[in-house]
Amino acid sequence: MDVACLLIADFLVAIARRDNPLPRGRPVVIGGAPEEHAAVRACSREALREGVTIGTTLRKALSLCPNAVFLPFREAQARDEAAAILELVSSYSPVVEEVAPGHLHFETRGLARLAKLDEETWLAEVQESVAIRSGLPVVLAGAPGVFAAHAAATTLAAGRQAGASIVVAERATAEFLAGLPVEILPLSPAIHQRLRLFG
């Protein structure tokens, strides 16, 4: 394991759900009240299924998903949360890249051995530390390369396996990646659709 990917899926929604007692499964839209002249900054998977997307006006989001909870976008809070997570992960690894708030890639080569732990245990410790400190649903995946680590973390998050960590061994990387859908590739939905046509 050379690289790890830490992912908090739907970062802004995860913060909102942590801080507000919302019914489970209720759609969440972040950006403000529906009567404001503003756009959706983030939304839950439930709202996405109803047709709400980032950039949709809040009024249109209300018409698409009338049972959604509309919450304000708290930029300073999101920035502070992301900075705290980055700082914590930086205490475990000397090389950390913030891809987006709640999404980090970091160097892991030799760190488990330095801590006198196996890779799975070390990764689980990092995951648990971030989850406890942040109170957010953290997934963490380690692999020989960035893409495999990212794909594994994305797969865990999509399966809603918050609180999970996984190590993809070098010898198993090709087999692991071969079984994933094309949507795992960091491409536009239009390209995903074209690739699906090829089989």
User: Could you identify the residue written with the tokens 């995946």?
Assistant: 141
Q: Write out the residue limits of the CATH 3.30.70.270 domain(s) in the chain.
A: 3-9+75-184
CATH 3.40.1170.60 maps onto the chain at 13-71
The dihedrals phi and psi of 181, each to the nearest 5 degrees, come to -75, 160
Q: Is the pLDDT of residue 20 over 90?
A: no
Mind listing the pLDDT tens digit for each residue in 22-57?
777 899 999 999 999 999 999 999 999 999 999 999
Whether the CB-CB separation of 155 and 107 falls below 8 Å is answered with no
- The Cα 173–Cα 168 span in angstroms is 6
**pLDDT tens-digit series, residues 103-141:** 999 999 999 999 999 999 999 999 999 999 999 999 999
pLDDT at 190: 83
Global pTM?
A: 0.88
What fold characterizes domain 3-9+75-184?
Answer: Alpha-Beta Plaits (3.30.70)
Q: Residue for token digits 């047709």?
A: 51
- Contact (Cβ atoms closer than 8 angstroms) between residue 5 and residue 66: no
Question: What is 13-71's CATH number?
Answer: 3.40.1170.60
